[in-house]
């Protein structure tokens, strides 16, 4: 992972806004932006909620962080937050498979962000999308290298009731359409499943994906694959595409893919005291092949990805430190 250049002039005189500032990725993004000297405005549904207290304790927060109560579905409140900003990082989005909770907030919130950014004459908007907008296409072979030119098939998302991916596709396409119409400089980051240490006190969906294999709640693992990336790398990718004038289009943010069998093997090696499953729920069929995601565009900008084994180790250690997992004795160390 590249060291942050805290003396960089890039952030010294710039004010940027981060939507959904208390989230998993957003918290790290706020932390790194403050370290780089940016003045940061964070939008939250409720700035006084105790789960957002960790933001106020970040280095530089007292001097250069303000938290704003903003409803992304209320265009006026978004405009007020963006007024006077040089850049916007739009990370806020619902994480749900409920179509009613996903579609309208994701799409209309994104629409308001781009419209407000255009009116505020913001220099660049960096939008947190998802690998879910890229790979969902049953016609594409798993031997095919999936890159930024690929889009998920909306009909397939709908037919498989994957409303999260459906909502993310429509939200990202909406962002591109309105940005083009309004002349907004938009760059998109498409992360895979994001893991790593938590800054916020609450557990989030992507870390539950790991913790379920340690708590005993998962007795077997499924015959499936998943791609992973470290939360710090995702936050740094956002800053990298914001600060690089030539950055454009979409950027897949992925370190590597693992079959669930490989995932549990790594976890068992690091943390043998936990009841980690050893059996696959599908022992008839061969192991599913992982998708091949290209991360070359971010590597070309200079991002060095954290190895997936280190990501997994740091995720579990963080879950222990935050009290989400019991700490057994005699653990192996990375």
The set of catalytic residues is 168
Chain-centroid distance of CA 329 in Å reads 32
> Under 8 Å CB-to-CB from 133, ≥6 apart: which residues?
151, 152, 165, 168, 169, 172, 190
Cα separation of 152 and 129, whole Å? 12
State how far Cα 203 lies from the chain centre.
Answer: 14
**CA dist list (Å): 288 to 133, 261, 284:** 21, 10, 12
**Lookup: tokens for 329:** 């004795």
The SS3 call for residue 229 is: strand
Q: What's the rounded Cα separation, in Å, for the pair 56 and 131?
A: 31
Strand pairing class (87-90; 249-253): unpaired
Task: Please give the helix or strand (H or E) that residue 257 lies within, else none.
Answer: strand 256-259
Place of tokens 């308001």: 112
- Non-local (6+) Cβ contacts of 280 within 8 A are 220, 221, 222, 223, 260, 261
What letter would DSSP give residue 6? T
Is residue 100 within a helix (H) or strand (E), and if so which, with residue range?
A: helix 99-119
Q: In this structure, is the dihedral angle defined by the CA atoms of residues 61, 67, 73 and 79, taken in order, positive or negative? A: negative
CB atoms within 10 A of CB 203: 17
Per DSSP, 42 falls in state E
């Amino acid at each position: 992972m590249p060291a942050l250049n805290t003396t960089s002039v890039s952030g010294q005189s710039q004010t940027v806004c981060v939507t959904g500032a208390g989230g998993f990725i957003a918290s790290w993004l706020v932390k790194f932006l403050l370290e780089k000297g940016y003045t940061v405005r964070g939008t939250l549904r409720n700035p006084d909620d105790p789960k957002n207290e960790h933001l106020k304790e970040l280095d530089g927060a007292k001097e250069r962080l303000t938290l704003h109560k903003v409803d992304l579905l209320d265009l006026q409140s978004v405009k007020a937050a963006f007024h006077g900003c040089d850049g916007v990082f739009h990370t806020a989005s619902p994480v749900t498979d409920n179509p009613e909770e996903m579609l309208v907030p994701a799409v209309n919130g994104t629409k308001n962000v781009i419209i407000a950014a255009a009116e505020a004459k913001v220099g660049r908007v960096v939008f947190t999308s998802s690998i879910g907008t890229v790979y969902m296409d049953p016609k594409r072979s798993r031997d095919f290298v999936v890159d930024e030119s690929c889009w998920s098939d909306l009909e397939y998302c709908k037919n498989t009731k994957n409303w999260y991916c459906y909502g993310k596709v429509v939200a990202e396409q909406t962002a591109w359409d309105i940005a083009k119409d309004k002349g907004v400089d938009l760059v998109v980051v498409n992360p895979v499943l994001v893991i790593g240490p938590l800054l916020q006190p609450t557990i989030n969906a992507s870390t539950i994906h790991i913790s379920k294999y340690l708590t005993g709640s998962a007795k077997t693992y499924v015959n499936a694959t998943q791609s992973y990336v470290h939360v710090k790398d995702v936050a740094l990718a956002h800053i990298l595409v914001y600060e690089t004038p030539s950055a454009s289009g979409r950027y897949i943010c992925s370190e590597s893919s693992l079959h669930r069998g490989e995932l549990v093997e790594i976890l068992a090696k690091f943390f043998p005291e936990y009841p980690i499953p050893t059996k696959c729920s599908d022992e008839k069929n061969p192991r599913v092949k992982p998708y091949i995601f290209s991360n070359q565009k971010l590597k070309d900008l200079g991002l060095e990805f954290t190895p997936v084994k280190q990501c997994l180790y740091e995720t579990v250690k963080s879950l222990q430190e935050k009290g989400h997992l019991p700490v057994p004795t005699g653990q192996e160390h990375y």
